[in-house]
Amino acid sequence: MLESSTPLLVGPDVIGAPGGYRNVTDLLARRAEIAPDHAAFEVPSDPTDPSAPWRDVSTREFTETVRAVAKGLLAIGVRPGDAIAIMAPTRYEWAVADLAVWFAGGVVVPIYETSAPTQVSAIIHDAKVVLAVGGSAHHVGLLTTPLDARGSDALGVWSMDAADGPGEHRDLDRLAALGLGVADEALEERRLLATADSPATIVYTSGTTGEPKGAVLTHENFLGQVLNIAAAYGEVVHPAGNTIIFLPLAHVLARGLQLICLASGMRIAHLADPTAVVGTLGQLKPTFLVVVPRVLQKIQAAAGAKAAASGLAKVWASAQSTAVEWGEFRETATPAARAPLGLRIRHGLFDAVFYRRLRQVMGGRVTHILSGGATLDAELSLFFGGIGVPVIEGYGLTETTAPLTGNLPSDIRSGTVGRPLPGSTVRISDDGEILARGIGVFSGYRNPEHNQDAFVDGFFRTGDLGRLDEQGRVVLEGRLKDVIVTSNGKTIVPMRWESSVESDSLVSHAVMIGEGRNYLSALIILDPLALAEFSAEVAASAHPRPEQHELLTVVDAKAREHVQRAVDRANELVARSEQVRRFTLIATDLDDPTFVTPTLKLKRAAVLQRSTDVVDALYSS
């Protein structure tokens, strides 16, 4: 077995110790004491108008709102340790509700806003939720029936949306009004009840491979991650910076990022619609962004398409290769080293023509991007580093309270997800599985049955395959459950091939198939928007829009020819026994929770289950 560890930067003398951080609420309380007038958030002045200006919310104003809502929770009967669900898109009020529950001594149970009614009901029942906060009338409706079924313990469902007419309306303002009679001392006493080892949240995994599991994360898990990551990434997360959070706040990565920014004084804006991000970058001018690789692929592809439309396709191709070459040089050279003269000339020219404009598209102030949620193609990472926006790739899971490993701003190696973060240890088992132990690693699932195979020798079994390079950095190699064994006994790990195909702008997901078969094939799921632009001259009837829960076979000779080249490139990267012989193009609704998790991971089992006939056709003579 191989191991890699990084010592804590902020340890037990600060977390949970007398005079240190008792629980997560201290992160906000201390920041409010240090810099009450500093802008903690940006919120739209008119949420219904995308062009409306954004206004600052100070740390003092946010803290006062949190305390008011928390008092309301106490007033209506929330007890220490009560589970409270939050179901809403990413928005400012999510942050208010999250912290208010912790101030009231409760345990937050996030629910993805795209969850089906059966999922909502199962989570509320399993976590024994007593109160819920919904983002809109739709979410309130989904939460009400299962919460009512809880009986006399239920304290109702409250809405983030304000009342739009007369009559009683359960919104956060009304909840705060109910708490006006609660004394400050009573709230402070409740706030300090939770200790470092108390449960802070129960996060239900999105279930790409089976039944969702409730991971219980403690205040210590969050504090350890927030304080140590803030210490390690001080040049990225700082009071002079700002970011946009558009990942679902039901996901632990987004919530962890929010706490890191709050504790560090970094201004936060929320966007519920990821497609609206590009339009707001110029207005909000973030210094730091967290994205999934697909966003970076789309930025690069859009730039290429614009260059091609101007007759500069060959020039752009040279600009891309120059950016990658510059990125490689910057990653491997010493800080004082100068690039070769020819590379410097080319890079300077393309910076004036292309790179500078790309940086402006991202707002002009982005110094770093964090990529997570899926494996980032090394060449794409090098490209963005080469245009002057380094990409920090990291790796983690719900069960590790988000990041477990990460490249550091001053030590990025594309193609890896970096070393263990402070306070973490990664071990590679004999069969290649990544095992984790550390400050952010949870102690177990809510259901004890789910813990039976979750740990080995005190390490959490991630289910991911990987290896350590000579510097102790983690290189991801796929999912243990995705390994394919062909009929001739060959064991295939599909991630390298799939990642290569998915780097193509037309492809959203690639699924290699071949378990028990004598050769490999694949389902290649196309990006509907990219396909529409690519095949604009094809009749709309040739590309019918898939309904929810539907997978459609795409018959488009031009698209197939394009994807064939991506398949050929991927086949060149792997051994002959790992090459795909046949594939089918598929279209589906990429927002459909039947096939895609809220964090954009593909539910492979669901896709394969709905594609039996298509798969059989790939193996027919």
Kindly list the distances between the CA atom of residue 530 and the CA atoms of 13, 156, 177, 499, in Å, as whole numbers in the listed order: 52, 44, 49, 18
The residues, any chain, with a CB within 8 Å of residue 618's CB and separated by 6 or more, are 513, 521, 582, 583, 584
What is the per-residue pLDDT for 86?
A: 98
Higher pLDDT, 301 or 184: 184
Give the per-residue pLDDT at 530. Answer: 80
Per-residue pLDDT for 538 more than 60?
A: no
Is pLDDT of 343 > 80? yes
Rounded to 5°, the CA angle 247-116-102 comes to 55
Residue 167: predicted pLDDT = 52
- Judged against a pLDDT cut of 80, whether residue 33 lies above it is answered with yes
Pairing of strands 419-420, 391-397: unpaired
User: Torsions phi, psi of 500, nearest 5?
Assistant: -65, -45
Q: Is the pLDDT of residue 601 over 80?
A: no
Structural tokens at position 159: 């809405």
Instruction: Give the 3-state secondary structure percentages of the chain, helix then strand then coil, rounded to 5.
Output: 40, 25, 35
288: tokens are: 């730091």
pLDDT level of residue 210 (50, 70, 90 thresholds): low
Element (DSSP H or E) covering residue 382: helix 378-386
pTM for this model (two decimals) = 0.89
pLDDT band, very low/low/confident/very high, at 621 (cuts 50, 70, 90): low
Specify the pLDDT at position 164. 61
Using a pLDDT cut of 90, give the percent of the chain over it: 66
Can you list the alpha helix ranges (DSSP code H) found in 216-340? Answer: 219-232, 252-264, 277-284, 293-309, 313-332
Residue 129 has pLDDT above 70, yes or no: yes
Asked if residue 29 lies in contact with residue 63, where contact means CB atoms within 8 angstroms, the answer is yes
507 exposure class (CB count in 10 Å sphere: 0-12, 13-18, 19+): buried
> Measured between alpha carbons, how far is 264 from 222 in angstroms, rounded to an integer?
14
pLDDT for residue 208: 44
| Nearest by Cα to 499 from 482, 486, 516, 487 | 482
Averaged pLDDT, 401-408 = 95
- Range with the poorest average pLDDT among 71-75, 168-172, 317-321: 168-172
Most confident of 149-153, 447-451, 583-587: 447-451
* CATH hierarchy code of domain 483-618: 3.30.300.30
Tell me which H or E stretch contains 25: helix 25-34
Structure tokens at 533: 């632009």
Task: Match domain 291-364+367-480 to its CATH number in 3.40.190.10, 3.40.1160.10, 3.40.50.1390, 3.40.50.12780.
Answer: 3.40.50.12780
Interval 419-424 mean pLDDT:
97
Token couple for 493: 């790990």
- What are residue 239's phi and psi, to 5 degrees? -60, -20
Mean pLDDT of 467-494: 89
- 209 pLDDT higher than 70: no
Q: Tell me the one-letter amino acid at 172.
A: L
Residue 16 has pLDDT above 90, yes or no: no
Burial of 310 (0-12, 13-18, 19+ CB in 10 A): exposed
* Residue 28 pLDDT exceeds 80: yes
Asked whether this chain's domains 291-364+367-480 and 483-618 adopt the same fold, the reply is no
Taking residues 114-133, what's their average pLDDT?
93
- Of 536, 541, 580, which is closest to residue 558 (Cα–Cα)? 536
pLDDT surpassing 90 at residue 234: yes
pLDDT above 50 for 481: yes
Residue 274: pLDDT band with limits 50, 70, 90: confident
Q: Is 50 exceeded by the pLDDT of residue 290?
A: yes
pLDDT digits (tens, 9 = 90+) for 35-49: 999 999 999 988 777
- Residue 440's pLDDT band, with cuts at 50, 70 and 90, is very high
In 24-102, DSSP assigns E strands to 39-44, 54-58, 83-87
CA distances from 526 to 47, 287, 502, 569 (A): 32, 32, 9, 17
Residue with tokens 């049955």, as numbered in its chain:
449
| Domain spanning 24-194+237-287: CATH superfamily | ANL, N-terminal domain (3.40.50.12780)
pLDDT at 1: 59
Q: What is the DSSP letter of 550?
A: -
For the segment 289-295, the average pLDDT, to the nearest whole number, is 86
Q: Is 420 helix (H, G, I), strand (E, B) or coil?
A: strand
Tell me which amino acid residue 424 is: S
Q: Which of 97-111, 189-203, 272-286 has the lowest mean pLDDT?
A: 272-286
Query: Average pLDDT, stretch 542-561?
Result: 70
Q: Write the pLDDT tens digit of every residue in 89-115.
A: 999 999 999 999 999 999 999 999 988
Average per-residue pLDDT for the chain: 90
Question: Over pLDDT 70: what percentage of the chain?
Answer: 95
Token pair for residue 601?
Answer: 């991971």
Instruction: Report the distance separating Cα 460 and Cα 440, nearest Å.
Output: 11
Task: Specify the higher pLDDT residue, 300 or 64.
Answer: 64
pLDDT tops 80 at residue 591: no
Backbone dihedral angles phi then psi of residue 178, each to the nearest 5 degrees = -65, -20
Distance, CA of 370 to CA of 256 (rounded, Å): 13
Question: How much is the average pLDDT of 480-486?
Answer: 88
Please give the pLDDT value at position 540.
44
Quote the pLDDT of residue 17: 86
Mean local confidence (pLDDT), 349-372: 94
- Higher pLDDT: 401 or 537? It is 401
The label of the residue with tokens 């100068």 reads 338
> What local confidence, expressed as pLDDT, does residue 330 receive?
94
**pLDDT band (50, 70, 90) for residue 557:** confident
Mean pLDDT of 61-79: 98
DSSP per-residue codes, 457-526: TTEEEEEEEEEE-TTS-EEEEEEGGG-EE-TTS-EE--HHHHHHHHTSTTEEEEEEE-TTSSSEEEEEEE
What residues have CB less than 8 Å from 28, skipping those under 6 apart? 59, 62, 63, 66, 99, 262, 263
- pLDDT given at position 598: 72
Best CA proximity match to 218, nearest among 202, 203, 198: 198
Provide the pLDDT confidence category of residue 539 given band limits of 50, 70 and 90: very low
Q: What is the pLDDT of residue 439?
A: 96
Instruction: Give pLDDT, residue 120.
Output: 93
Confidence of residue 324 (pLDDT cuts 50, 70, 90): very high
148-189 pLDDT per residue, tens: 998 878 999 999 998 765 556 789 999 999 999 999 999 999
* 537, pLDDT greater than 60: no
Contact 588, 507 (CB under 8 A): no
Q: What is the dihedral of CA 21, 25, 30, 31, to 10 degrees?
A: 130
Determine the pLDDT at residue 102: 98
What is the average pLDDT across 604-620? 83
Assigned token pair, 500: 């290569």
The count of other CB atoms within 10 Å of the CB of residue 429 is 16
Domain ranges of the chain: 24-194+237-287, 291-364+367-480, 483-618
Averaged pLDDT, 433-443? 96
Question: Is the pLDDT at 547 greater than 60, yes or no?
Answer: no
Where does residue 398 fall: left (phi above 0), alpha (psi -120 to 50 degrees), or beta otherwise?
alpha
Q: What is the mean pLDDT of residues 50-68?
A: 94
